[in-house]
Amino acid sequence: MGSFLIIFVPIAAFLINAFLQIGICRWTATGLIKSIMYGFSAGAVALVALHLLIVPAAVKGDLRDTVFYFIGNGAIYVAAGYLYFQVVNLGEASIRFRILRELRRYPNGASQVVIDERYNDQLILRTRLTRLTNNGQVRFENGVYRLQASTLLIASQFLTFMRRFLIGKSSEFDD
């Protein structure tokens, strides 16, 4: 029974992460990225608490096993959280998916002119910069954009780290 309880720790922490994120995103004015960060943080706290509550008893107080399982459960939780973020963010951030959704609105197809109007690089860039500025993630002053501390920046740094760690590159544009 002890082995089952040990694997329960990252699963329970991940469920807390996901359900809390969904609740925050649906029932508060918090944005997607912040809700994901809050959910992940709450799940991490739950992971530590559940680990301290369950694992030492399951391994009969053996400190090495407790630490070993903490590292393993932490890795499982971080990987599950990363996967969850990627799945949730996939439809939100992917221009390719957005283009496919838009093309579905044109049963007879859309001309290059129509697509260019919707996906003009300058329009996309302006829209994203406006969103970043309005959300306080960057500020525009004296003709230049300046980075502000934000949860999106932290998430971006974490995702870059995870991409490099898992697939050896930080974006699809890396060689």
How does pLDDT run across 85-140, given as a tens digit for each residue?
888 776 566 677 677 777 888 888 888 888 877 777 777 788 888 888 888 888 88
What's the rounded Cα separation, in Å, for the pair 151 and 149? 7
- 3-class secondary structure for the chain? CHHHHHHHHHHHHHHHHHHHHHHHHHHCCCCHHHHHHHHHHHHHHHHHHHHHHHHHHHCCCCHHHHHHHHHHHHHHHHHHHHHHHHHHHHHHHCHHHHHHHHHHCCCCCCCHHHHHHHCCHHHHHHHHHHHHHHCCCEEEECCEEEECCCHHHHHHHHHHHHHHHHHCCCCCCCC
Q: Per mean pLDDT, which range of 70-74, 78-82, 96-100 is the poorest?
A: 96-100
Burial class (CB in 10 A: 0-12, 13-18, 19+), 136: exposed
Contact 47, 20 (CB under 8 A): no
**Closest Cα partner for 78 from 162, 147, 149?**
162
- Tell me the average pLDDT across 35-40: 91
Q: Hey, what long-range contacts does 141-149 have (CB within 8 A, 24 or more apart)?
A: none
Residue 92 is predicted with a pLDDT of 60
What's the rounded Cα separation, in Å, for the pair 34 and 11? 22
Backbone Cα Rg of the chain: 21
Q: What proportion of the chain, given as a percentage, has pLDDT over 90? A: 22
Beta-carbon count within 10 A of 1 CB: 5
